[in-house]
Amino acid sequence: MKKIFLAVVTAVVALTVSAQYKAPQIVANGGYHTHPSSGVKNTMSALKAAQKAKLYGSECDVNLTKDGKVLVVHSGWHPNGKANPKANVQRSTAEKMLDIPYKNGEYISTLEDFLKRAAKKPATKLILEPKPQSTPQRETQLVEKMLEAVKNAGMQNNVEYISFSPWICFELAKKAPQGSGIQYLAGNYDPMYVKGMGCTAIDYNYKILKKKKAWIKQAQKLGLAVNVWTVNKDEDIRWCIQNGVDIITTDEPVLVKNIIKDMCK
């Protein structure tokens, strides 16, 4: 009887240890661009790979060209054209930007085309990051055009928004449909302030949250989700899970999946 009791206790303890952490959602940074089928952030192939991997979300940057077109492109420059002045997104026309190939042979996508692909497998949310612009007026224009494209694609319930720009977050809080996910990226405001901006989550670099770990619980008590970026190393992923974050944004979604299986059974 004693041996049976000890065996039961051991099993219960083992189960408790293996199931002590909740499983965070996974967002692919720039799409699942580290997959062999892609190799380039913010491309259609990276989005398709994220969908095939059945991730919670696939993140991409969106920017506004000189002639007012919304393109899906990383940062403010075309990755293959920094030496060429026409490769600056905000100073170039859409026609010029769409004419420069990526290293894998793909081309920049318009937001409309990206949304069409996202709509085919909407279980993987599209996480749109509108990039800061040169003026508040351009940021408002980008937000309005982006929201219009999302509405026209019928994807309002399958898109979330993240931004480094407080103005963009304020505009999204006013103009996006009620209940839309809006996350602030810069890491310079405490959770209470971010909630006051109208956001639904903090989305901070993991190094910031390691220094200000209390912000994780503070945010969650305020009803904000906690997203961390860009977490690629085993030890950092485990730290995020141990400290109860809700979402991990990563370049290595398969690694994160495997660690979740190990820690969150």
Comparison of pLDDT for 126 and 75, the residue scoring more: 126
Domains and CATH numbers, the chain: 21-62+126-263 (3.20.20.190)
Q: How many other CB atoms sit within 10 Å of the CB of residue 207?
A: 12
Residues 199-217: tens digit of each pLDDT: 999 999 999 999 999 999 9
User: Does the structure show a pLDDT above 80 at 220?
Assistant: yes
Comparison of pLDDT for 140 and 100, the residue scoring more: 140
The structure's pTM equals 0.92
Residues 152-188: tens digit of each pLDDT: 999 999 999 999 999 999 999 999 999 999 999 999 9
pLDDT given for residue 74 in this prediction: 80
Q: In which band, very low, low, confident or very high, does the pLDDT at 2 lie, cut at 50, 70 and 90?
A: very low
Residues 102-125: tens digit of each pLDDT: 999 999 999 999 999 999 999 999
Percentage of the chain exceeding pLDDT 90: 84
Mean pLDDT of the residues in the chain: 92
Q: What is the mean pLDDT of residues 37-54?
A: 97
Nearest to 226 by CA among 256, 257, 197, 195: 195
Q: Please state the φ and ψ torsions of residue 59, each to the nearest 5 degrees.
A: -90, 145
Residues 6-44: tens digit of each pLDDT: 444 444 444 444 458 999 999 999 999 999 999 999 999
